[in-house]
């Protein structure tokens, strides 16, 4: 894999992860544009690695790039979670409740993940996923509900929505945020809950990538200063992207991103031909 394609993949993954526009979908679209894949370069230290090993390494690299996003989100919400932890004697019931809510949603999502591993989702058109994301975001124009609190029932719904967002081109952030808004959560709470149920999954996938690297060897692309600098630069971009998403959410203008989704959708239509 040439350096330009590799660096582009890093920037695309990290920056778009902070926005409700499907980071995996954009990486897949980028692959279609520049034509890189696991076979454009050796991702494993063993040049004779099998196709399955190459695919596993590609997935692990994708999961590894969740690491910077985890740091970005933890720093962004630092005041909220640090306040809860510092006053844990008074807030332990709130912490336990939030952990329980996240566990319910993520367990349901995990069931979808296992199901999609048994029945691959590659048949699902990337463009259709982009269209679903655009429609979900556009629906926020008519959503005026807010003010209600979280319940187990709502977390079950969000878990299902997050599971369905594993389909190509469907943004997890956009889907869960939109669902939370239609479940009568305020824009700020919908924003927070969306990341609350995403963070554990991202953390687990990042740790799993480290295990794969330990077992199969760290890819040469990661072991260089160029990649380190690009990841740091992309992380700064991801930080400001997340701040912008929060800004738009607070002003109930998250539907703006539905207009942007026309761009990747049209690119996919052109490339698919």
Q: Tell me how far apart the alpha carbons of residues 213 and 198 are, in angstroms, rounded to a whole number.
A: 23
Confidence label for 34 from pLDDT (cuts 50, 70 and 90): confident
- Four-CA torsion 176, 131, 55, 47, nearest 10 degrees: -130
Q: Are 206 and 165 in contact (CB under 8 A)?
A: no
pLDDT tens per residue, range 199-209: 999 999 999 98
pTM: 0.91
Q: Find all residues with CB under 8 Å of 38, minimum gap 6, and list them.
A: 51, 54, 55, 57, 58
Q: Tell me how far apart the alpha carbons of residues 170 and 20 are, in angstroms, rounded to a whole number.
A: 9
Q: Are 163 and 111 in contact (CB under 8 A)?
A: yes
pLDDT tens per residue, range 100-141: 999 999 999 999 999 988 877 778 899 999 999 999 999 999
Q: Which two tokens stand for residue 45?
A: 């230290």
Burial class (CB in 10 A: 0-12, 13-18, 19+), 131: middle
The domain locations on the chain are: 3-272
Look at residue 51 and tell me whether its pLDDT is greater than 50. Answer: no
Q: Are 136 and 174 in contact (CB under 8 A)?
A: yes
pLDDT tens per residue, range 60-98: 888 889 999 999 999 999 999 999 999 998 999 999 999
Q: Which two tokens stand for residue 106?
A: 């993520």
Q: Tell me how far apart the alpha carbons of residues 146 and 30 are, in angstroms, rounded to a whole number.
A: 37
Confidence label for 224 from pLDDT (cuts 50, 70 and 90): confident
Q: Tell me how far apart the alpha carbons of residues 37 and 35 are, in angstroms, rounded to a whole number.
A: 7
């Amino acid at each position: 894999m040439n350096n330009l394609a590799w660096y582009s993949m890093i920037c695309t993954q990290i920056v778009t992860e902070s926005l409700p526009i499907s980071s995996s979908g954009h990486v897949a679209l980028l692959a279609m544009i520049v034509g890189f894949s696991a076979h454009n370069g050796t991702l494993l230290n063993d040049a004779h690695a099998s196709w399955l090993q190459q695919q596993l390494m590609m997935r692990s690299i994708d999961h590894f790039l969740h690491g910077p996003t985890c740091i970005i989100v933890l720093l962004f919400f630092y005041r909220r979670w640090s306040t809860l932890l510092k006053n844990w004697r008074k807030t332990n019931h709130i912490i336990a409740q939030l952990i329980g809510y996240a566990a319910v949603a993520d367990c349901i999502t995990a069931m979808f993940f296992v199901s999609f591993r048994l029945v691959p989702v590659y048949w699902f058109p990337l463009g259709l996923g982009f269209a679903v994301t655009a429609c979900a975001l556009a629906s926020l124009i008519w959503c005026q509900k807010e003010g209600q609190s979280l319940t187990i029932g709502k977390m079950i719904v969000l878990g299902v929505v997050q599971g369905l967002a594993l389909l190509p081109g469907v943004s997890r952030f956009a889907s869960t945020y939109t669902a939370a808004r239609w479940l009568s959560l305020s824009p700020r709470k919908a924003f927070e809950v969306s990341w609350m149920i995403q963070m554990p999954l991202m953390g687990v996938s990042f740790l799993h990538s480290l295990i794969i690297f330990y077992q199969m060897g760290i890819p040469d692309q990661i072991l260089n200063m160029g990649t380190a600098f690009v990841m740091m630069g992309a992380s700064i971009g991801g930080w400001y992207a997340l701040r912008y998403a929060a800004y738009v959410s607070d002003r109930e203008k998250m539907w703006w991103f539905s207009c942007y989704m026309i761009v990747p959708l049209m690119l996919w239509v052109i490339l698919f031909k």
